[in-house]
Structure 1
Amino acid sequence: MANSPPEPYSVAAVRLLGELGLVSVYESPLDTKLLLLQRFVRMFAYGGSSLVLVSYLSALGIADSRIGLFMTLTLVGDAFISLVLSLVTDGAGRRRMLSLGSLLMSASGFSFAATDNYWVLLAAATIGIISPSGNEIGPFRAIEESTLSHLSPPGARTDIFAWYSMTGTIGIAFGIVSCGWLESAFEARRQWDRADAYRVVFLVYGGMGFVQFLLTTLLSRRCELHAETDETGPALCSDEATPLLGEPDSAKKTPLSDGDSANKTPLSDGDSAKKTPLGDGDSAKKTPLTDGHSANNTPPSHRRRLAVTLALLFGLDAFATSLATLSWTADFFQRKFSLTAGHLGSLFFTTSIISTLSILLAASLARRFGNLNTMVYTHLPSALALAFLGIPDSPPVAVALLVVRASSQYMESAPRSSFLADILLPGERTAVMGVIGVVKTGASSFGPIITGYLVERNLVWVAFMAAGILKAVYDFGLLGAFYNYKTCRE
């Protein structure tokens, strides 16, 4: 009698789950899952508040230029607070800083719901945490990414960061649609004043901040820096892995020359020490620099220049993003096409779901083509769509451009996080990621006031065009600056 046939569907299912990164998430510790849940809760709040922020301030009678100034000062205050908290986090404790940030976020939301005074609102947004763009703000991302880096084996980092990004976009999507229709319901059915209906959204924001605080209390001590007992050097598991800000003695051994580290590689294949998490069998044998320097003799000043280059490029991208934030984009569609908050919520919910699905594809692409290639070539179509977003007078054409932008807007997020995690030492990740985050926040603080000035003069299309062009410059700049990192695998 013939042997029973194999189970192709089971094998295919496991392979599919692996491609989607679900196996890595399932095998991750509880702390990782809690951090992913915190990200969802926080981005739910950010999405809902950013949808109505500009409209809320407009309903209070605040001019567009002052709204732009408000958003700029909010980002400046956040940059300062984030810098301080990021630099002291590993000494004071990551869980403490996450708890403090959550309470500041909650206090800001309740303050927005309780008052309509411009200066009180500005103080609450500047000292506390309010996202004017719908994107990440505050010290959370730097702390969480640093923690996820040491909680996750190098081979699983791209998957974990993909789901970290994806839970954020899912949170934004549900926050936008929930708060959009909630505001519409209070305004239409209960005949509330529009400003009062918007306050309900900020009550939800404050509540979500407190929920995040409760989740933070469940994290274990493994999240702290001093718990990193098994990772004594950089994760030299890809060709994009030379530490940028210095190299202790423990980092001078490569995974191929250190028997212990080779045994600790997360891959189960017998030749795992020769493989990278992205499946490039030869890249682990090569140093990431093709200018004649090895990982052992690359001057620290050269690596620091690479870190500065990264910060400047990410800052350029952040400035471009700040010219066309979610708040200003939603305001543009509301003014030009007379959409209600509920319909805006449905529109941006759809685009956020599209962005979420694209993140899963990005993780798979990164495993095959590398982080840098995925970062650049998936981001460029989004930049071009943004450049032309403000031109069409037809709603379907404008919506189509918005969908094209959403389809690749966040595909670079997970590869970028994995890229940074691989090239930074465990002890410097929180501080360096925090500094890069502050550079991004500082750069993004200039955009809203420029857009507010242009909106008052009916020139919002100029802001969108400039944002798209600058994002394209960022893409080509990233490719040019790290071209050697791309070609060293070839």
Structure 2
Amino acid sequence: MRWLLPAGVQDAARTILVGRALRAFADGYVAVLLPAYLLALGFGQMEVGVLSTATLAGSALATLAVGGMGHRWPQHRLLLFAALLMTATGLGFAGLSSFWPLAVVAFVGTLNPSSGDVSVFLPLEHARLAAAAEGQARTALFARYTVTGSLCAAFGALAAGIPAWAVMLTGIAMLDALRGMFLLYAAIGAIVWLLYRRLEDGIDASAPKPAPLGPSRRTVFKLAALFSVDAFAGGLVVNSLLALWLFDRHGLSLAAAGTFFFWAGLLTTASQWIAPWVAQRIGLLNTMVFTHIPANICLILAALAPGLEWSLALLFARSALSQMDVPTRTAYVMAVVTPPERAAAASFTAVPRSLASAVSPSLGGALFAAGALAAPLILCGALKITYDLALWRAFRHHEKESS
């Protein structure tokens, strides 16, 4: 499986890519099934938004703890703990039906209602990957990491149709079929735990000793503040809420929504695959900004489109552009800090994103419940364009992109 890695990258990075693939598959179907599962339990649109907020807020606090204190423990032990937490999260959602117990599990667990990775795994995996490559090889490696996640999340979204097939073929109750998918989530967490046990003697042996933020503190905090605007906007249209919008606005079935997210995920994967090639020619920052702006124009237009066909076409166009900034953004952060600061930088740029994105799903759910179905999409697109312009203005003269 050496083909997974760009030239010049340590073999141990392959384990991280495989773990990311497994987690992304689980996240892909959970993001689509979560609103359907909560509605089947008797909850409303507002509760869907609140539980989405709880998952993102809990992830933010866990990521903050990793950034502030994670250097005290070996990274592979923290990854193993996160995998066990993933297993417990799946078991909790499969076994509980009341709102507040589910909210607690959502807060402390690893459930991800969004299209990107917002879990405690993220800074730990980023730091390990950054230690495994340098320069252009690092950008290519982060692109592989992001592409792997997007592709497997797309197939996960397609798997969201499994409960409907199970009901049709076996006669099992839909609620039981949905619970089974959360048991699968728990099983995937256990597999990730077994996989990450192999990391103890991998990248740790050659990685620089992690340290808290120091000389790069000001740059990291400025980036974190800007990233939080982007994340708050994205939280208004996390995949679970976008699925809810497709259900309510256009009457899509669960299986049809899963198919949409599958093809959207494939478009995202293709764009992320070419992101390093684009970044090599126009720079990491320009790639982040000038692919993001047209994507968000498409999102605004999708909210205003008169019919399903136009909405889906514009959302597909958005998917082909909106995530090209993910591998380039990660590579940019890793390039502008010193090697010992990378784990802390990954955490401190992820935490404001998670906190900001944790607030907005409740707002999006409230707007949906009030009947303002287009408002979350329009607000998301407008805020993201504002972020793009502010980021470009603040860092367009920054010299250090590829070290």
Instruction: Give TM class, smaller chain.
Output: over 0.9
**Correspondence for 1:154:** 135
1:78 aligns with 2:59: yes
Deviation at residue 353 of structure 1 after TM alignment: 0.5
Q: CA RMSD in A?
A: 2.3
Deviation at residue 27 of structure 1 after TM alignment: 4.8
Unmatched tracts of structure 1, length 5 or more: 1-20, 234-243, 248-302
Matches of residues 399-414 of structure 1 in structure 2 within 5 Å?
399-414=312-327
Indicate the structure (1 or 2) with the bigger Cα radius of gyration.
Answer: 1
Deviation at residue 391 of structure 1 after TM alignment: 2.1
Deviation at residue 194 of structure 1 after TM alignment: 2.6
Amino acid at match of 1:107: A
Q: Is this contact kept in 1: 2:4–2:144, CA < 8 A?
A: no
Deviation at residue 337 of structure 1 after TM alignment: 2.4
Aligned-partner SS, 2:43: coil
Structure having the higher helix fraction is 2
Match of 1:424 among 314, 330, 337: 337
How far apart in 2 are the matches of 1:486 and 1:423?
Answer: 9
How far apart in 1 are the matches of 2:76 and 2:266?
Answer: 30
**Correspondence for 1:120:** 101
**Correspondence for 2:50:** 69
Amino acid at match of 2:193: F
How far apart in 2 are the matches of 1:84 and 1:308?
Answer: 16
Match of 1:227 among 185, 198, 206: 206
1:200 aligns with 2:180: yes
1:373 aligns with 2:354: no
Unmatched tracts of structure 2, length 5 or more: none
TM-score (norm. length: structure 2): 0.94
Amino acid at match of 1:162: A
Q: Is this contact kept in 1: 2:210–2:342, CA < 8 A?
A: no
Change (3 A) 1:471 1:486: farther
How far apart in 1 are the matches of 2:50 and 2:114?
Answer: 14
Q: Is this contact kept in 2: 1:86–1:139, CA < 8 A?
A: no
**Correspondence for 1:35:** 16
Number of residue pairs aligned between Structure 1 and Structure 2: 401
Aligned-partner SS, 2:183: helix
How far apart in 1 are the matches of 2:213 and 2:396?
Answer: 20
Q: Is this contact kept in 2: 1:372–1:486, CA < 8 A?
A: no
How far apart in 1 are the matches of 2:168 and 2:5?
Answer: 45
Match of 1:461 among 357, 369, 374: 374
1:169 aligns with 2:150: yes
Deviation at residue 344 of structure 1 after TM alignment: 1.4
How far apart in 2 are the matches of 1:402 and 1:38?
Answer: 28
Match of 1:351 among 255, 264, 269: 264
Larger displacement relative to structure 2 (129-138 or 158-167): 129-138
Q: Deviations over 1:76-109 (max 9, x none)?
A: 2221122113333232111000010011011101
Match of 2:197 among 204, 211, 217: 217
Deviation at residue 245 of structure 1 after TM alignment: 5.2
Larger displacement relative to structure 2 (454-463 or 77-86): 77-86
Larger displacement relative to structure 2 (127-136 or 207-216): 127-136
**Correspondence for 1:183:** 163
Matches of residues 292-371 of structure 1 in structure 2 within 5 Å?
304-371=217-284
Deviation at residue 188 of structure 1 after TM alignment: 2.4
Amino acid at match of 2:384: K
Amino acid at match of 1:305: R
1:478 aligns with 2:388: no
Change (3 A) 1:23 1:124: closer
How far apart in 2 are the matches of 1:488 and 1:150?
Answer: 16
Q: Deviations over 1:312-342 (max 9, x none)?
A: 1100000010000101111111222222222
Deviation at residue 308 of structure 1 after TM alignment: 1.9
Q: Deviations over 1:352-380 (max 9, x none)?
A: 00110111221101111110111111111
Q: Is this contact kept in 1: 2:38–2:48, CA < 8 A?
A: yes
Match of 1:398 among 291, 311, 323: 311
**Correspondence for 1:144:** 125
How far apart in 1 are the matches of 2:148 and 2:370?
Answer: 37
Deviation at residue 487 of structure 1 after TM alignment: 11
Aligned-partner SS, 2:302: coil
1:133 aligns with 2:114: yes
Aligned-partner SS, 2:110: coil
TM-score (norm. length: structure 1): 0.78
